[in-house]
Structure 1
Amino acid sequence: MSHVTVVDHPLVQHKLTLMRRKDASTNSFRRLLNELSSLMAYEVTRDMPMQDIEVETPLETMTSKVIDGKKVVLVSILRAGNGILEGMLNVIPGARVGHIGLYRDPKTLTAVEYYFKMPSEMQDRDIIVVDPMLATGNSAAAAVERLKELNPKSIKFVCLLTCPEGVRTMQAAHPDVPIYTAAIDRQLNDHGYILPGLGDAGDRIFGTK
């Protein structure tokens, strides 16, 4: 699977395992997701371009490198994407934030858009799309298609879990968009849920199950 990066750091895998447990509380699930998202942000931003700035240390003036966080836009696919968003912002606090609202039609499993709000001048920005699950891939593919209309510099997609079906859908629609995930699970069930998975991420984040 080209353009798919599995973040297999021991801390990421440990926290993901704890999140999978069905008896994990809402508070525990949310906290672990925040911590795991911050860890994944390090991998996702590994190849971000740097620029030199002048800083004054306690001893002398020097030139050192920084990321221009204002060029980064974190786009949350509502509502579950907000669970990853907070952890990412811990690492990239200067990032702008966009939201796209999509829901999955329960009969067709296709994505329906109901909300779209982005920063201005997106053509100058690098987008990181966040959503805990890449299941059927329909919502993710639709979100990326919509974002491409804004002609951003680049787009990456970040999720906790995916499966072969979701990866195939995304890569067929957007082979140029790299996918970052903590695990590629076995398959989808008949209702479009990832197996073995961790259940409905939105319900578990917000305690609405």
Structure 2
Amino acid sequence: MVFESQHPLVKHKLTMLRDTSTKPKKFRELIRELSMLLCYEATADLSTAPLEVETPMGRAMGSELVDKIGLIPVLRAGLGMVEGISEMMPGAEVWHIGLYRDEKTLKPVSYYNKLPTLPTVQVCLVLDPMLATGGSAVATVDILKRWGARRIKFVGILAAPEGIARLQAAHPDVPIHLAHIDDHLNEIGYIVPGLGDAGDRQYGTG
């Protein structure tokens, strides 16, 4: 399933993120804030258990999270999404998978993978700001499933219909959480209207 956020704050911050006048420092802040908002929506179905606590005025029944969460940012653009989500879930484990897109073939090339031998979490959140061709997302989920991950969600900011279709075709069991679905990919595989290269704009390397 695909979940496109309708939250007014998401729409507002995404507009600022797209603007070419937004400098790298502000761009990183917006990525962090959008990631927190999208994570809030993507984790609405996590499992909890009852927990009783002592308040200053007596006992209260509450809940505690029982699912262990793994954050898997796709390097390098996905790194900017980790900070905000980690603030919300400081107990989440972070595992990096390095992929880059060959600009000639538009296919993902893997260069880094430091997952432990066996899965240590119940839910994996794949973090990548842009779901463009879908190649990197599919490759990342492939890696996680071979690792043994059973519940995987993709959390991104922008997507093209082509990338969504490719990820759904390869992994129909992976929910896709997005800030917005854009129009299409251009001839070099960039999302239109998009926001340009998310990695370059975060780190001022464009």
Please classify the TM superposition score into its range, dividing by the shorter chain length: over 0.9
Aligned residue pairs, count: 206
Q: Go from structure 1 to structure 2 and tell me whether the alpha carbon gap of 1:52 and 1:121 turns closer, same or farther (over 3 Å shift).
A: farther
Cα distance in structure 1, aligned partners of 2:12 and 2:121: 36
Structure 1 stretches of at least 4 aligned residues deviating more than 2 Å after TM superposition: 59-63, 118-121
SS of equivalent residue, structure 2 residue 195: coil
Percent identical residues: 50
The Cα of 1:151 is off from its aligned counterpart by: 1.6
Please say which of residues 13-22 and 119-128 is displaced more in the overlay. 119-128
Which 5+ residue runs of structure 2 have no aligned equivalent?
none
The one-letter code matched in structure 2 to 1:41 is: C
Q: Which residue is equivalent to 1:18?
A: 16
How do residues 25-174 of structure 1 correspond to structure 2 at under 5 angstroms?
Answer: 25-68=23-66, 71-119=68-116, 121-122=118-119, 124-174=121-171
Cα distance in structure 2, aligned partners of 1:117 and 1:57: 42
Q: CA RMSD in A?
A: 1.3
Q: Deviations over 1:45-77 (max 9, x none)?
A: 1111111223111132333201136x1001010
Cα distance in structure 2, aligned partners of 1:183 and 1:103: 23
Maintained 8 Å contact 2:28/2:202: yes
Which 5+ residue runs of structure 1 have no aligned equivalent?
none
The Cα of 1:153 is off from its aligned counterpart by: 3.0
Cα distance in structure 1, aligned partners of 2:21 and 2:97: 30
Normalised by the length of structure 1, the TM-score is: 0.94
Cα distance in structure 1, aligned partners of 2:146 and 2:122: 13
Cα distance in structure 2, aligned partners of 1:162 and 1:133: 6
The one-letter code matched in structure 2 to 1:134 is: L
Normalised by the length of structure 2, the TM-score is: 0.96
Cα distance in structure 1, aligned partners of 2:159 and 2:125: 16
